[in-house]
A = this chain, B = another copy of it.
Amino acid sequence: MQTNINDVAQQANVSIATVSRTFRHPELVAKKTRDKVLAVAEELNFSISRSATIFQTGQSFRIALLLNDQFASWFNSRIFEGLDSVFHPAGYDLSVYPIASQNDRRSFFSTLPVRRNADAVIVPSFNIDLGEAERLRSTGIPLIGINALPADAFTLSIAIDDKQAMRLVVRHLISLGHRRITFFRVKHDSDSSLKFSASQRAQGFLDECRDNGIAPLVLDVVEDDSRVDQALTQLLTLPDMPTAICCQQDSLAVPLIFKLQQYGYEVPRDISVTGFDDTYYARQIGLTTVRQQPRTMGAIAAKRIISLLEGNDVETKHEVLPVQLMFRTTTAPARRLADD
């Protein structure tokens, strides 16, 4: 049997109230009493039961995190890490709800399993339905978006501007003289509206091309282990090889470069390639890409949420973090036509 607060109180010749205070508000307890209690607690292997505390508090100290995707993806695992780095020390636990399809999502928002069972719901990276958001928020649970839209569906939101970031990339390529640029988009089997960033990036590409009078070419690959081969096949059967390739994410760009080189295309001499995310591999191979820092986003979000839950006014409700174009060695000036 576990020892409880009663055992300690008895053994230490104090009331349970004093034991509780010793842990909760030590400053209200005389040092002598406190030491006695702590000694007994130590001896009896006692510590306050979080379940009981949580129960009596009425707060759940649980944060629901909806994940649309492989949990272990680059983005998601870093978001989690950032969130947990703040939440865990503050006594909150994260509870991961897998949302793989629109159906999952609908079911989540109609049964609201988090009702009374989570202090907040965090939605990274997918579009949300205004009605659903409203339904959740009407239960008093704040809804927080990370790279998600529309902003006004959320109590708080934090994001990067994927569209703008991709425009940066395209502008970079254009300034290097590229005019034949191909964009590779990764199609997910699951519902695409669960992948908010993906569509934003493609849109940014299209917009920037249009503004510069360039005919954009967007190619799709399905998100499976053959995605790079799919990309390569499409590239090599193009009537005109592009001079630059924009990939939706590093995880496509890195192996693509590898394979292009195997097929005799030198990067960036023959063709420039860009990524998005700034992953470890991007840094290692010198990929030109966009740096975003999901871990930081998670940590900031967590801090805001805690502040909100503690009843403070949150100054910034909707924040957009800056990103950085990392100009490295996989992009170079387009070869002049005369060189061909």
Contact = CB atoms under 8 A, between A and B. Distances in A.
Nearest to A256: B284
A255 interface: yes
A251 interface: yes
A116 interface: yes
A285 interface: yes
B62 A72 contact: no
Contacts of A116: 2, 46-47, 49-50
A281 interface: yes
Contacts of A80: 71-72, 77, 80
How many interface residues does chain A have, given as a range? Answer: 35 or more
B72 A295 contact: yes
A54 B95 CA distance: 15
Contacts of A228: 284
Contacts of A285: 255, 258-259
Nearest to A115: B47
A317 interface: no
A182 to B, nearest CB: 19
B71 A77 contact: yes
A337 interface: no
Nearest to A57: B51
A81 interface: yes
B55 A117 contact: no
Interface in A78-99: 78, 80-81, 84-85, 88, 93-98
B72 A81 contact: yes
Interface of A: 2, 45-47, 49-52, 54-55, 58, 60, 62, 70-72, 74, 77-78, 80-81, 84-85, 88, 93-98, 112-113, 115-117, 139-140, 225, 228, 251, 254-255, 258-259, 261, 280-281, 283-285, 295
13 contacts: A2-B140, A45-B115, A46-B116, A47-B112, A49-B117, A50-B60, A50-B62, A71-B80, A72-B81, A225-B280, A251-B280, A251-B281, A255-B281
